[in-house]
Amino acid sequence: MATMRLRGNAAIRRLFAGVAVVATIGVLAACSSTDAGSSNGEPSGKLQLLVSSSDATDAGFRAVNDAFKKKYPAVDVVFSTVSNDNYPATKSSRLTAGNLDLFVVKGMTETPTYAKDSATDDARLAAAGGLVDLTKESFLKKFTPTLLASQAIDGKQYAVPTGVSYYTGVFYNKKIFADNGLAVPTTWSQFTTVVDALKAKGVTPFGLGGKDSWPAGLPMLASVASLYPTAADKQQLAENLWTNTAKLTDPTEVKVLQQTEYVLQNSQQGAAGADYTTIPSGFAAGDFAMTVDGTWDQPTIAAAVAGKFDYGYFPFPGSDKAADNALLNGKTELQLAIPSSAKNKTAALAWLDFFSQKQNYELFLGKSGFSPAQPDISTSDFLQSIGQYTATYQPAWDQIWFANNKAGQDAVFPFNYPALTPLGSDTPEQAAQAAQKAWTAAG
């Protein structure tokens, strides 16, 4: 989604919302509810559904809701969408009030022992008994086993994955590349050669929306994907940082910031203050040749380009070994869960089962732009074009890293990209030093 946040931001929010979250978990774990959502064996009554909003996914959910209501006319689906910035507070208040039957959870993954105090809010909610255990539900068998494994908590399943987004790749204008005799780069040296050739012809290499800071983190995640190409590599890095056997000032860690700065400094003028939502139109206008972005933005880019030229998507080639750059990294999108306090669990389970059926799931994917979380699903021409890069699912760095709540702001991600010029004023080396200092302050 266009409003994706790095996992570290949850740590910042938790400083302010922790008391409310703990209270919510206590309420949900302690209460029980009477399921009044069945009539003659069929689901009925109100189904309260809450999601974090984006235009594409909202359209997908509405399409499924319309089809669901045709099959189950006795169910009144009350569909609520909330901006990502306001979603945590809205979710917490509605859970406490007990007026949710189905909602989006985030960060559902096992917390490693070295970071046990940094579990995400929703993972803590599941562990406290605040979510319905879906492990034995037959509809889960339709989903890709490796994705389910990545979201298991204590071996149990508490959510249905709606899809996958990849966000360590680069959209590129095929016409600009062809006009300048450029090929898709597969190594870092080839990548810098492409950038130099574009600049020599007066073409701005990258478009970037840095106004809200987080889009500028996408090049950082893309660099980590190449320099630590497997999930095991990233997991080992995370553990080494947590156990202080690696430092954020070590050569490869600094290289992540150097590559991030490279993209920042070769982006359009005013990139630091540019709104992320303006990037698709700038790309369509030919204002720049490439943009580091997530596949969630592809429907918006397609609408903006509107057939003016062909475009493609390739993995950010941060390594000088092409094999390290062969796969895109991503995350499981918009996981859906049922709170233990739900008043209409029957309808909620029926909705999840309906959503999981192939024809309905494809309906959602066609609107949302997500890659499928189920095998053997028909996908768009765009998703087919990147199939070679997504054949093996690889989680992105922000799906593996857990922020230390005791560390300073400079070590949240922990690669300190907000300090880099032009977002900040530091060199990569200075940003790395600040991050290491903030990290060691956690003790």
- Annotate 191-203 with DSSP letters as a single string: HHHHHHHHHHTT-
- In CATH, which of 3.40.50.970, 3.40.190.10, 3.90.580.10, 1.10.760.10 is domain 169-327+406-440? 3.40.190.10
Distance CA 212, CA 83 (A): 14
pLDDT of residue 205: 98
Contact 388, 394 (CB under 8 A): no
Pick from 10, 6, 2, 5: which is nearest to 405 by CA? 10
Pick from 185, 183, 186: which is nearest to 322 by CA? 186
Contacts (Cβ under 8 Å, ≥6 apart) of 120: 7, 10, 106, 107, 108, 109, 111
pLDDT tens-digit readout, 386-417: 999 998 889 999 999 999 989 999 999 999 99
Q: How far is CA 23 from CA 20, 401, 412, in A?
A: 5, 26, 25
Residues of the chain with pLDDT under 50: 1-27, 29-33
Structural domain spans, the chain: 8-165+332-395, 169-327+406-440
Q: Omega into 414 within 30° of 0, i.e. cis?
A: yes
Contact 141, 355 (CB under 8 A): no
Q: ∠ CA 393-394-395 to the nearest 5 degrees? A: 120
The reply to whether 169-327+406-440 shares the fold of 8-165+332-395 is yes
- We find that the CATH architecture of domain 8-165+332-395 is 3-Layer(aba) Sandwich (3.40)
pLDDT tens-digit readout, 256-306: 999 999 999 999 999 999 999 999 999 999 999 999 999 988 988 999 999
Dihedral angle of Cα 108, 109, 115, 121, to the nearest 10 degrees: 10
Taking the CA atoms of 79, 61, 7 and 133 in sequence, report the sign of the dihedral they define: positive
pLDDT of residue 39: 60
**How is residue 203 written in tokens?**
């073409």
